[in-house]
Structure 1
Amino acid sequence: MEALWSSGVPVTANELREKLAANRERGKTPALTTVLTVLSRLEQKGFVRRDRQARPHLYGACLSRANHVADLMHEVLESSSDRTEALAFFVGSVDESEAQVLRRLLAARG
């Protein structure tokens, strides 16, 4: 997903493969079939969309990185038996600049 997010635009499986290969410090470049399999599974799970009109097909992230992280945070909060305690632990773990951002966002929300 990181490679798709950093691309900023939909890419072909081969472009993604090349990007993954460039980011690897050691080891083999992933096979194109492996990249296609992972993309297919991510598409089935709703993380990736495929443009079938383009040849070769183009793949892009369904959500931005920020939206995905927000969804994960919401999922964790929903799974907690005590939301207040979970929020308290989260707030206790942020630094002062992050706390200021949270205060500003909450104030803007009303």
Structure 2
Amino acid sequence: MQGEERRMVSDPRDEATAGRSGRRARGELESDVLAALWAADGPLTARQVLQRLPGDLAYTTVLTILSRLHDKGMLVRHREGRGFAYAPVRDEASHTARRMRSLLEEGSDREAVLTRFVSELSAQDEQLLHHLLSGHEARGEGSEGKQ
């Protein structure tokens, strides 16, 4: 399931606790809501999001998550009937890239973090990264001045 890649588990203990208690891991519901919105052809109402989520969630729970994501600046909304329809501010790739960069900036040793990241890539992803970096170098967009 693609949704497995979207999970935003901050702490491995959250995942273990979620499995035992039947509760979702921290950030998992937000990830599921974002995934539903990214998969949609346009903005969705809370009811439409609820219909696309697995499990037995309350409408008010989905409404709360949508409101929180909107407050965080991750969603835009517009009036639709008596409620709102929501859409992501960024596409999934941009959102993930922003999270990756944020995590990189949190580390105290950028070289070690990047080295470990690259060493754990699949051969296919490593080739793709090399191709992307080669394209940037050819256009003069190397790492000069970046840290």
Aligned counterpart, 1:97 = 124
Rounded Cα–Cα distance in structure 1 between residues aligned with 2:121 and 2:75: 31
TM-score with structure 1 setting the length:
0.87
Q: 2:43 aligns with which of 10, 20, 26?
A: 10
Rounded Cα–Cα distance in structure 2 between residues aligned with 1:103 and 1:87: 14
- TM-aligned CA deviation for residue 4 of structure 1: 1.2
Runs of 4+ in 1 over 2 A off after TM superposition: none
Aligned counterpart, 1:82 = 109
Percent identical: 37
Rounded Cα–Cα distance in structure 1 between residues aligned with 2:107 and 2:85: 38
List runs of 5+ in structure 2 lacking aligned partners: 1-33, 138-147
Q: Is the aligned partner of 1:57 residue 2:80?
A: no
Higher helix share: 1
Rounded Cα–Cα distance in structure 2 between residues aligned with 1:51 and 1:109: 38
The count of aligned residue pairs is 103
List runs of 5+ in structure 1 lacking aligned partners: none
Letter in 1 for 2:66: L
Rounded Cα–Cα distance in structure 2 between residues aligned with 1:31 and 1:98: 39
- Specify which structure has the bigger relative contact order, considering alpha-carbon pairs within 8 angstroms and separated by 6 or more residues: 1
TM-score with structure 2 setting the length:
0.66
- TM-aligned CA deviation for residue 9 of structure 1: 1.6
- TM-aligned CA deviation for residue 8 of structure 1: 3.5
Letter in 2 for 1:77: L
